[in-house]
Amino acid sequence: MKRRHFLQTTAAATVLPTLLGGLPIGAYGFSPELFDITGGATQTDRVLVLIQLNGGNDGLNMIIPTDQYSALMNARADIAIPQNQVLPLSVNTGIHPAMAGIKNLYENGQIGVVQAVGYPNANYSHFRATDIWTSGSDSNVTITSGWAGRYLNGEYADYPTGYPSTANPDPLAISIGSVVSNCVQGPSVNMGMAIASTSSFYQLLSGGVDAAPNTPAGHELTFIRQVIAQTQVYTTAIQTAARRATNLSPLYPTAGQNSLADQLKIVAQLVAGGLQTRIYVCNLGGFDTHSAQVPTTGSTTTGTHATLLGKISQALEAFQDDLRRLNVHDRVVGMTFSEFGRRIKANSSKGTDHGAAAPLIVFGTSVNPVLHGTNPVLPANAGVNDQVPMQFDFRAIYASILKDWFKVSQTTINELLPSSTIPFPYVPVIRPAVVNGTASAAATNVANFSVYPNPVRERATVEFTGEGGHVQVLLYDALGREAVRLVDRVLPRGPHKIPLDVSQLAAGSYYCHVQEGQRVSSRLVVVQ
């Protein structure tokens, strides 16, 4: 059987575990997207780092709307951060005190925050929600390939035949850590790899293999690992790159204390060593904080969630410092993501349950260091099912990074991220000066948007001023499900008043979402 056929038939729809240098790795399906990024249609030395926060990060305790503190305290007094301990990012927005490093990076122009990122009709299953985020699909559509994996399929149709080559000697994607992300899973053959642990990486550099039992079966396993180590085509490239560079930042914690920092330390070393890999995926678990998110007694600024946020902050601060010292800082941008946020109201176990939208962080010297969007509007007295309303579809962030960082055409992006809502609004997460040296049109709010009366009993009016183009006006319930689709068509330029009939809806909190081209706004609507 030919190698390409074997790879296609054994790993077309799933991650194939294998070995790199005798060490556990996971190989990803072939991805057309990553190939373009790594020297296919567009030559570039730019790198994207994705950090997956596994479990569902509580965004309201990470990026804190300080202008709505009374609503926060009503909803989560047992877990909320005291207002006088929140670190300010702007007049009305703050960040968890465990993230002082992120605040410093923000003030130094290396951090951007995108508020309330989600998608319509949110799914609250860890597995399905992760699939949605990593595949870039609508919530009611299943796509088995990853969003950062599909683009390469059309670019490197012959892969892996003839690879590595002089023009493309290195892996196209590397995932570091115990969780193999689906982001770079392609629809056909495997091309990327996942280093199972940071210790595996350092064993790879030394040429060692994992220890096997001193038994006949163990001896056979050692022999197999040694044979595979001799045949792995990318082992030498990774070893060579790692030996060309040494981490320089003193900010990294001791190895083993912060798994995310350990992973990013490897990324910095490989980038500085000249490896042409363009996508790295790292991960940090533990965010499924249904209980004991904060201590039973003591300050709410400590505990499980605070420790996790502190690790993100510490890791990113050391990573950015290392990239600067290694003089590769302008080549790397990254973003965090989690499969969902948590609910507005805390539960009775000092925790939070699965929710919908949440903020994400973009980082790097090339990112636009601003707060994108506005603080979410919270009910004065949130119920157990109330959710943070979505402002930005997560695929809008993907699309904007592909467009500005990797110069992917809008036509290709629309094919890469198929959805009933394309094209997604543009979000300028990359600095305008980085985008071909010229400013890009920024995403803005919909002008003069309001819903009145509010609260509403039977009928209300949705009012806004349009620029002329396709407009969607949707009403979502507290669980993020579409309740009413008021408008989904082209409207002329000028003021619009759209009647909203809620007479058939149950009383409760809803969110009115208006999108026109690159402009998007959301409002809380209370139905009585």
Mean pLDDT score, 74-85: 96
Q: What is the mean pLDDT of residues 474-484?
A: 78
DSSP 212-244: --SSHHHHHHHHHHHHHHHH-TTHHHHHHHHHH
Please indicate, yes or no, whether residues 399 and 460 belong to a single structural domain of this protein.
no
- Mean pLDDT calculated for residue range 365-394: 92
Is the Cβ–Cβ distance between 196 and 24 less than 8 Å?
A: yes
State residue 4's pLDDT score: 38
* Residue indicated by tokens 């990026």: 63
For residues 166 and 296, the model is more confident at: 296
Tally of CB atoms within 10 A around 381: 12
Same structural domain, 347 and 454: no
Given 420, 443, 466, the domain boundary residue is 443
Two tokens, residue 11: 């790993």
Q: Supply the pLDDT for residue 265.
A: 97
- Does one domain contain both 347 and 465? no
Residues 509, 373 within the same domain:
no
Strand-pair category, 47-53 with 332-338: parallel
Q: Which residue shows structure tokens 């959710």?
A: 387
Q: Is the pLDDT of residue 132 over 70?
A: yes
Check whether 221 has a pLDDT greater than 80. no
- Residue 305 near residue 294, CB atoms below 8 Å: yes
> Is residue 9 helix, strand or coil?
helix
When pLDDT is cut at 50, 70 and 90, the band that residue 198 belongs to is confident
Q: Tell me the mean pLDDT in the region 128-148.
A: 94
Q: Which residues, other chains included, contact 522 with Cβ-Cβ below 8 Å and sequence gap of 6+?
A: 116, 376, 377, 389, 390, 391, 511, 512, 513, 514
Q: Of 117-126, 208-217, 506-515, which one has max mean pLDDT?
A: 117-126
- Of 21-35, 216-230, 266-280, 330-344, which range is least confident? 21-35
pLDDT per residue over 310-348, tens digit each? 999 999 999 999 999 999 999 999 999 999 999 999 999
Which of 44, 11, 29, 278 shows the shortest CA–CA distance to 159?
A: 29
Shared domain for 375 and 523, answered yes or no, is: no
User: Could you tell me which residue, 439 or 494, shows the higher pLDDT?
Assistant: 494
Quote the CA–CA distance of 206 and 266 in Å, as a whole number: 15
Could you tell me what percent of the chain has a pLDDT over 90? 55
Domain count, the chain: 2
Average pLDDT over residues 272-279: 91
CA atoms within 13 A on the CB side of 368: 25
pLDDT at 139: 95
Do 435 and 454 lie in a common domain?
no
Looking at per-residue confidence, does 183 or 22 come out higher?
Answer: 183
pLDDT band at 213 (very low <50, low <70, confident <90, very high): confident
Radius of gyration of the chain (CA): 24
Pairing of strands 111-118, 459-466: unpaired
Task: Look at residue 99 in the predicted model and tell me its pLDDT.
Answer: 97
**Boundary residue ending a domain (409, 443, 477):** 443
Per-residue model confidence (pLDDT) at position 92: 93
Give which of 134, 38, 53 is closest to 361, Cα–Cα. 53
Contact 281, 175 (CB under 8 A): yes
**What pLDDT shows up at residue 510?**
82
Residue 337 is which amino acid?
Answer: F
- Looking at the fold, whether 456 and 344 belong to one and the same domain comes out as no
Three-class SS state of 416: helix
One domain for residues 457 and 358: no
Q: What is the pLDDT of residue 30?
A: 31
Tens digit of each residue's pLDDT (9 = 90 or more) over 222-251:
655 554 443 366 778 888 999 999 999 999
Query: Residue 508 CB: number of other CB atoms within 10 A?
Result: 17
CA distance 309 to 289: 13
Is residue 460 domain-shared with residue 429, that is, in the same domain? no
Q: Report the side by side order of strands in the sheet with 459-466.
A: 447-452, 459-466, 494-501
Mean pLDDT of 288-295: 97
**Section 198-206 average pLDDT:** 75
How does pLDDT run across 431-456, given as a tens digit for each residue? 877 876 654 555 667 888 989 998 89
| Mean pLDDT along residues 274-287 | 92
Q: Is the model more confident about 475 or about 51?
A: 51
Nearest Cα to 149, choosing from 173, 133, 122? 173
CA 285 to chain centre: 14
The pLDDT of residue 476: 81
Q: Please report the pLDDT score of residue 159 as a whole number.
A: 65
Considering only CA atoms, which of 93, 97, 67, 71 is closest in space to residue 82?
Answer: 97
Task: Tell me the CATH number at 507.
Answer: 2.60.40.1930
Between 242 and 214, whose confidence is greater? 242
User: In percent, how much of the chain has pLDDT > 70?
Assistant: 81
Choose one of 443, 476, 506: the last residue of a domain. Answer: 443
Arithmetic mean of pLDDT over the chain: 84
Tens of pLDDT along 2-18?
333 333 333 333 333 33
Whether the CB-CB separation of 354 and 56 falls below 8 Å is answered with yes
Alpha-carbon distances of 23 from 167, 289, 397, 426, rounded to whole Å: 26, 32, 34, 41
Residues 45 and 405: their CA atoms lie apart, in Å, by 10
pLDDT digits (tens, 9 = 90+) for 148-174: 877 766 666 666 667 777 877 888 888
Name the region of 406 (left: φ>0; alpha: ψ -120 to 50; beta: rest): alpha
Q: In terms of domains, do 276 and 288 share one?
A: yes
Q: What is the pLDDT of residues 30-79, one digit of tens each?
A: 333 433 443 344 456 899 999 999 999 999 999 999 999 999 999 999 99
Q: Is 18 exposed, middle or buried (0-12, 13-18, 19+ CB in 10 A)?
A: middle
Same structural domain, 398 and 482 = no
3-class state of residue 495 by DSSP: strand
Contacts of 366 by beta carbon, 8 Å cutoff, 6+ apart: 330, 333, 405, 430, 431, 434
Q: What is the pLDDT of residue 193?
A: 75
Give the pLDDT of residue 442: 57
Residue 422: per-residue pLDDT: 80
C-alpha to C-alpha distance for 277 and 46, rounded to whole angstroms: 9
3 state SS of 528: coil
The residue among 182, 117, 131, 124 whose CA lies nearest residue 360 is 117
Which range marks the domain in which residue 155 is found? 3-443
Task: Mark whether 437 and 456 lie in a shared domain.
Answer: no
Cα–Cα distance, 343 to 16 (Å, whole number) = 35
